[in-house]
Amino acid sequence: MSPSPGIRWILGIILLNRVCAEDILDPCSPCPESCNCDVDLQQLCIVNCTSARISDFPALNSLPSNELIIELDLKSNQIPDIPTETFINFTKIEKLNFYGNEIENLTDDVFENLDTLKTLFVLVMLV
């Protein structure tokens, strides 16, 4: 038993609406090249840039709105330092991972005011 043509037509419109809505309303776009961005249940963004060959923060300029990022995984990149103001707009961040970078210089205050942060992985080279 297949749906009548009228019903099929309505189903088609519903489907089309969903696809368009997802495209336009994706809060986690644009996603940086070589990263994966997912939306969680709270409409916040989980950004996975593991092994994305990122070597500086300007490469992250295309991140989705910083205030929507709840997790940022930068594991196994080539980031040498984290500028002081980098996370100033990351007001919802709960998990940050820099493990497997070659961070040489970290100022004390870079993670200051990240009150929401629950998990932080950083490996700092002692030079």
Give the residues lining the site for ligand NAG (CB under 6 A): 36, 48, 50-51, 66, 85, 88-89, 105, 107
DSSP state letter for 92: T
Q: Of 107 and 116, which has the nearer Cβ to ligand NAG?
A: 107
CB of 16 to ligand NAG, least distance (A): 29
Q: Do 55 and 79 form a contact (C-beta atoms < 8 A)?
A: yes
Which residues are within 8 A (CB) of 15 and not within 5 positions of it... i.e. 6 or more apart? none
Q: What are phi and psi of 11, to 5 degrees?
A: -60, -40
Q: Of 3 and 80, which has the nearer Cβ to ligand NAG?
A: 80
CB of 84 to ligand NAG, least distance (A): 6
